[in-house]
Every structure is written in structure tokens, then in C-alpha cells.
Amino acid sequence: MQPLIIIATPNISWLNPDVDYPRTPETIAEEARLCRENGAAILHTHAENRWAETIRAVRSKTDILIQCGMSSLPLAERMEVFEHHADMISVILNHHDEAFALTETSVLHSRQELAEYAGLCQQHQVVPEFEVWHAGSIWNLNFLIEKKLLKPPYVTTLFFGWPGGTWSPATLEEYQYRRALMPEGCVCNVSIMGAGQLEILAAAILAGDHVRVGTEDYPFDHRGHVVPTHELVRETAGMARALNRELATVSQARQMIGLQEEP
């Protein structure tokens, strides 16, 4: 079994907006360093829309891989991510339809846009991380593969319990159903919003998949206390060790997601 990649998400808690989180390049970089020290190999950041400064700040503090989120934004508004050579970029495979505490999101994403993302990722050597919300997401992923717009490995994150029109239940049955539909060559992560998180995290760790934790997904530890993302990473790392799953180093994570080694 491959080592476990932990993805850290020290971003806004969409359902609990009073939860604090780092909001400047400097504080994001410091939290990234702490997440790396506690077992995370990838940072999923929104950068508070300060992409260039945040990428520079994080790389000055730690070797953690940088995955740039906010896939609801139009592609034209995300070009900085490519121009400043982030390691990864999140790409939703379907309509954004989310209902959060303070905002609702409804954004269409066409297959033409997905093809444009695939081309830009190859051109700039940025790894796309494809967001899988339901079975239709997987149809679109297969469309890109069949059109030979992607090369394996296909890095994906399966979402559970996020409210809105792309909601799916945070249950083991839903995880197993959707996981069985994924094409060969996928590196699968899971993201769970809500108290059903623990069961799916444990199942993914045991199945050889990877996990995403942090204030954006679910800001509470196993005791129900709000804690910063690096403490959620530490707790997840402890779970992995208890289940005899080794944690991935940054170098191992690079290899697993198909990212070229730095010169």
C-alpha cells in the first residue's frame, strides 16, 4: 500500500464562518509549515486571492506542495496560479452548486473549460486535482481521458456531505459506490464536511486512498473542539499510524501525483 498523503486545508470554514483561520501570506505560510511538521504533504489554499505572494511565502517556509483551490472562480481569474508555478490546481468536474452559511454558489463549468484546464496544466507543468462530487463528475473525467487530454496518474478528490445541489451523503456506502466507479490510474483523496468525517477517513486510510482535513472541511477534533488545521493533521496522522499506514513524505507525494522533481 502506498504511503498516505494528508492534504491540509487551513481556509475559511464555510459552515462555521466564526472559526478563525490564517488570512495573510505570512500566516498561511506559518500554518503550512506547522501542517508539514505534523504530517501533511500538500497544502490546499485559497490564498485569500493573493496567489503570487502566498506561493512565495509558503515556499520560503516549507517544502510542502501547494495546491491552489477556489475552483469556482472563472479560469481567467486563476492564471496567476499557472504563471507563478503552483504545484497543483483544483478543477471541479461539474456544476458548482453549494449552500453555505453566508453564501451560495452556482457556477456552470463546461467540458470546453475542462479541456482548457487540461491544456494549461500540461503547458505549465501544474498537476490538476479533479473534484468528484457525484457519478456525473466521473463521466466528465472519463471524457477527458478518452479524448487523450490527460495522462495518468489522475489526481482526484471525492467530496461528501457538502451542502447544496451537488450534495452526497457522508456514508461508507456512498464512498464505496463512487470509488468503484473511478477509472484506473486515479490517486483518490476524500473530503468530508460534517460529523460523519471520521468513518470515511478511516475507511480511505485502510483502503489505500488519501485524506484531506482542515478548518475548511471540518474544524472540530474528535472531542468536538475547534482547533487549527495543523492539530487536525496531527490527529489524522495519529489515526494513520494506529492503522499501520505510513505517512507520505513530500518526495513520495510528488512521485504519486506525477509531479516532476525540482531541478
| pLDDT on residue 196 | 87
Q: Would residue 220 count as lying in a domain? A: yes
Q: Would residue 167 count as lying in a domain? A: yes
CATH of the domain at 164: 3.20.20.70
* Cell numbers representing residue 145 in the block: 481521458
Task: Please give the tally of structural domains in the chain.
Answer: 1
| pLDDT on residue 262 | 64
Q: Would residue 18 count as lying in a domain? A: yes
- Domain of 230 in residue numbering reads as 6-257
Summarised one tens digit per residue, pLDDT across range 56-83 is 999 999 999 999 999 999 999 999 999 9
Percent of the chain scoring above 90 in pLDDT? 98
Find the mean pLDDT for residues 113-127.
98
Q: Would residue 19 count as lying in a domain? A: yes
Residue 104 predicted with pLDDT over 90: yes
Q: Would residue 1 count as lying in a domain? A: no
Query: pTM of this prediction?
Result: 0.98
Summarised one tens digit per residue, pLDDT across range 235-256 is 999 999 999 999 999 999 999 9
Q: Would residue 212 count as lying in a domain? A: yes
Q: Would residue 262 count as lying in a domain? A: no
User: Please, which residues have CB within 8 angstroms of residue 18's CB and are 6 or more apart in sequence?
Assistant: none
Summarised one tens digit per residue, pLDDT across range 177-223 is 999 999 999 999 999 999 889 999 999 999 999 999 999 999 999 99
User: Please, which residues have CB within 8 angstroms of residue 140's CB and are 6 or more apart in sequence?
Assistant: 93, 94, 111, 114
Q: Would residue 165 count as lying in a domain? A: yes
Per DSSP bridges, beta strands 154-160 and 127-132 are parallel
For residue 117, what pLDDT band results from cuts at 50, 70 and 90? very high
| pLDDT on residue 263 | 47
Q: Tell me the residue length of the chain.
A: 263
